[in-house]
Amino acid sequence: MNREIAYIVSVFAALLLAACNKDTSVNNATEAATRPNILLIVADDLGYTDIGAYGSEISTPNIDSLAASGVAFSQFYASPMCSPSRAMLLTGIDHHRVGLGNLVSRLADNQRGQPGYEGRLIQSVATLPQILKKAGYRNYFSGKWHLGDSNGADPGSRGFDRHFALHDSGASHFANMMSLSGPEKVLYTDDGKPVDELPDDFYSTRFYTDKLIEYLDADSKDDRPFFAYLAYTAPHFPLQAPLASVEKYKGRYDEGFDALHARRLARAQELNLVPAGIRSFPGIDPDRNWSSLSTPEKKSAARIMEIYAAMIDDVDANIGKVITYLRDHGLADDTLVVFISDNGAEGHRLDQGLGPLDDWSKECCDNSFENMGNEDSYLMLGPDWARASMAPFRMFKGFTSEGGVRVPAIVNFPANFAGTRVFDGIATIMDIAPTILDIVGVDTSKLHMDGKSMLPVLRGQSAAVHPDEVSFGWELLGKSALRQGKWKIVRESRFSDWWDADSLGIKRNEWQLYDLSQDPAELNDLAGNEPQRLQNMIALWEEYAAANGVIMPDTARSY
């Protein structure tokens, strides 16, 4: 790609957006009294089949209730990793154009200092809460921010009236403020002020929920509608949960990851989330199975899944706490609820491309069986359980194949939407901001968002959010993809050498072509059968990369 052209595109886009952000007028026909409250909930590294409504055995009655009375999306897409997804969520714009072309901790040498790779949400782009504030909303944030903590990138500078924020990519879920990669404490801010220590009884999921309810309660007499963004860090690693929650799942996973994968896949097919009769991704090590593990290995592996399930169970219980608060205060019927995950389940092991994290986990923590799940333990889900969490899809978080980017998504506003159903059309995380603004009555025509309002689909007035000819591009950490209609091309990074791609028939740094309607697991490469289609889609990806200032990394930065 011509770097000068990319730079001009980025600067021109920034100037346009800066000008457009001055004009975010509310449709006069939409009176304040008709604008709903908005509750946006994001789970961190939650897999596609990790909730009951998508095929899980984990107890998630509150999330399932949102799906049962709302719309669940079977083909909803995010970025392969967290901060790019969060940037697109709050702007409706591709992450390469808003400062998060890559995670700041993984910037390659040739990306540093380049437009779109600032490592924070840039100021020239208006965020959803900033626009809503102009429309008369009061805004609250609680949870994982991960969009920058300086140069105007913190929640208070981006439209939130009150906030409690974790600025790092993750942390201990308990009070010790343990970082993911070293001895330094993570950064939390409370309405902009750094937090020196957390309460002794701190547990992330519970605390973030209680903080959000505290904000709502303090302003309960305020007649303005609210926008509340609740961003859980669960079930992101390190896997930690209160013992009482973990004990609920004791023995539930003793049959192993192969049995769980089969059950999850069958249930997802029963729910019409994926087609029947398809092949499922065999895993990065197809020869590894539950029966090959020793008894101690099975015991530890099952405990990891018990902790993971407990974290998701706690997320659901705390979502129920918020919904109960809204119901008790007469707000539930007037509140639009959106629930999503930011990317696929985390399937890496600590020794798979995550050197600094692996080293720190051995130094910081006690991962003996008796201590698993406590605040001084450091565990990851791993590829075997992640395969079940993402059944039937290929790979997991960090990849542009379906296992990294297809996520559960639920929109609930039953009094205003047409029926309850599974929507099987394509939608993306960039569609959420324009959808909310459309419902509120804000004109987005001058905001140049990449996303499109889903409101016609939610109201039953349209069968699709995006026409089949529209294409959707991805790039992160040198991994690339593009989808158009039922077709998708995928290119794995030349740097990800910790897994054996060749054994799965995948050649690194070469494009593969898949028909997702027949092969959502991306196992049958049709590039040789459809050479012209492949070339056409590669050209579309190159157009996407040029338009968004994509800079392919020249060095590996893990994952």
- In terms of DSSP H, where are the helices of 147-242? 204-218
- Please pick, among 146, 167, 348, 466, the residue that the annotation labels catalytic: 146
The identity of residue 462, as a single letter, is S
Distance (Å, whole) CA 282 – CA 293? 17
**Is-catalytic flag, 82?**
yes
Instruction: Report the run of H or E that residue 5 belongs to, with start and end.
Output: helix 3-20
- Please pick, among 20, 82, 364, 365, the residue that the annotation labels catalytic: 82
Full 3-state SS string of 473-487: EEEECCEEEEEECCE
The identity of residue 495, as a single letter, is F
Exposure on the CB side of residue 121, measured as CA atoms within 13 A: 29
C-alpha of 76 from chain center: 10
Q: What crossing angle do the helices spanning 382-389 and 295-328 adopt, rounded to 10°?
A: 40
Q: Is 341 helix (H, G, I), strand (E, B) or coil?
A: strand
The identity of residue 407, as a single letter, is V
**Is-catalytic flag, 365?**
no
First to last CA, the chain: 24
CB neighbours of residue 262 within 10 Å: 14
Distance (Å, whole) CA 178 – CA 528? 49
Beta bridge partners of 76: 407, 427
Distance (Å, whole) CA 385 – CA 345? 9
Per the structure block, which two tokens stand in for 444?
């987005």
Distance (Å, whole) CA 487 – CA 468? 10
- In terms of DSSP H, where are the helices of 379-467? 382-389, 402-405, 432-440, 455-458
Q: Is 45 left (phi over 0), alpha (psi -120 to 50) or beta?
A: left
Distance (Å, whole) CA 485 – CA 317? 37
Residues 144 and 233: beta-carbon distance below 8 Å: yes
Instruction: Report the run of H or E that residue 491 belongs to, with start and end.
Output: strand 487-491
Per the structure block, which two tokens stand in for 301?
């592996």
Matching residue, tokens 């309660």: 217
Strand locations in 71-172, DSSP E? 71-77, 138-144, 162-166
Q: Which residues are catalytic?
A: 82, 146
